[in-house]
Amino acid sequence: MDSVEPVNDFLAGGGEMGALTRAFDWSKTCLGPPETWPQSLRVTIRIVLNSRHPMFIWWGPKLIQFYNDAYRETMGPERHPSALGARGRACWDEIWDIIGPQIEYVMTGKGSTWHVDQLVPITRHGRREDVWWTYSYGPIDLDGKVGGVLVVCNDVTSEHRAKEALNLVNHELQHRVKNTLAVLSAVAAQTFRDPSSKSALEIYQGRLAAFGRAHDLLTASNWVEAPLTDVIQTALAPYRTGEGRFEVSGAPTIVRSRQALSLSLAIHELATNAIKYGALSGPTGRILITWENMMLDAEPHFVFTWQETGGPAVSPPSVTGFGSRLITRVLKDDFNGTVELSYEPAGLRCRLTTPIKNIETAPH
């Protein structure tokens, strides 16, 4: 005679919560004994109990509860093991104003929910704690309708607090750097008090300002990296007049912190030069800023170009100034590539070329 698989086999395994679920007297709940449960609930419970990711179920109009060992670790003695088989509203009354509408959204057939780094305070181990969660609520089907809610979640409180601490450090660093830049600017103003030094002072303070803007952008990115478009737009902000003199285009690209700083300084020097002698010194000049990936010598390269057009004719300077040396040196060093300054009749062109591997950032 063929052997018959036990009807409650879906409750097998599952560690502590599997044992508690098997031992629970479900006949005293509105669900009735496990052998009468619908197939969708059985399958979901089996998945939950045997998963090592924190998972939770609310089932039926009364939101009867199930959860696994991984979720049990996020609970205090106030709710474990009493939450098993209990009604959801009574169990989580203290946070129902937060989770109640989210559960209703799923139960009424409106779809799933997704919440990232959300504060949901709970009482555990005798005190109310601020706890941050990343979680989703998804529907469990029952005869073409929604029979329950599957919760997949993670307590991200430690990560949240680490981010808060990092932001605090960054804000303090930003404050100190700005103070340092202000002191340097004041010292320069005292040093270059002679009227003949006014031009040199303006150049110096302009470079400090460019450094400060780049620093602010990196602070917002936690000093790791920054989107190239943001770096360029921030560097160009002081030179925009609303006349559409700049055109910026290129694929989404992330650059490292040192590269963001050096590119900001280079753009400041290029824009200042364009105002004095180049495309921005006349009414019709324009500047095209582009970047692209291309194959050079059988290796993928990143190519960044600053191209001026419509300005006065240019020619190579008789003496290489500090600004030009700054552009070529900082870009070459921080991008580990080559920099070409071409004084073409149509306008200045600055071209940075480096293997793509030099700008690729480490995965998070």
Higher pLDDT, 345 or 188: 345
Identify the pLDDT of residue 190.
Answer: 56
> Rounded mean pLDDT of 155-161?
91
Domains in the chain with CATH codes = 9-155 (3.30.450.20), 159-358 (3.30.565.10)
Residue 137 CA: distances (Å) to CA of 19, 76, 101, 116, 284: 25, 22, 11, 12, 57
Angle, alpha carbons 249-255-256 (nearest 5°): 165
Mode of pairing for the β-strands spanning 113-119 and 64-67: unpaired
Give the separation between CA 242 and CA 307, rounded to whole angstroms: 19
CA count, 13 A, side-chain hemisphere, 50: 11
Long-range contact pairs involving 8-13 (C-beta distance under 8 Å, separation at least 24)? 8/34, 8/35, 10/34, 10/42, 10/43, 10/45, 10/46, 11/45, 11/46, 11/49, 13/49, 13/50
> Rounded mean pLDDT of 14-28?
96
Mode of pairing for the β-strands spanning 286-296 and 246-250: parallel
Label residue 239 by pLDDT band (50, 70, 90): confident
Give the separation between CA 272 and CA 277, rounded to whole angstroms: 9
Three-state secondary structure call for residue 99 = helix
> Mean pLDDT, the chain, as a whole number?
85
Q: What is the percentage of the chain residues whose pLDDT exceeds 90?
A: 57
The whole-model pTM stands at: 0.55
Q: Where are the alpha helices (DSSP H) in the chain?
A: 15-23, 39-49, 69-72, 88-91, 96-107, 157-191, 198-220, 228-236, 257-276, 322-335
Give the separation between CA 225 and CA 219, rounded to whole angstroms: 10
Give the separation between CA 131 and CA 272, rounded to whole angstroms: 50
Please write the tens of the pLDDT for every residue from 331-345. 898 899 999 999 988
Contacts of residue 61, Cβ cutoff 8 Å, sequence gap at least 6: none
Please write the tens of the pLDDT for every residue from 90-115. 999 999 999 999 999 999 999 999 99
> Rounded mean pLDDT of 246-269?
88
Among 106, 9, 89, 105, CA closest to 49: 9
Spatial contact of 106 and 137, defined as CB atoms under 8 Å apart: yes
Among 215, 301, 220, CA closest to 265: 215
Label residue 2 by pLDDT band (50, 70, 90): very low
Please write the tens of the pLDDT for every residue from 259-268. 888 888 888 8
Higher pLDDT, 8 or 275: 275
In the predicted structure, residue 176 carries a pLDDT above the cut 80: no
Identify the pLDDT of residue 6.
Answer: 54
Q: At what angle do helices 322-335 and 257-276 cross, to 10 degrees?
A: 160
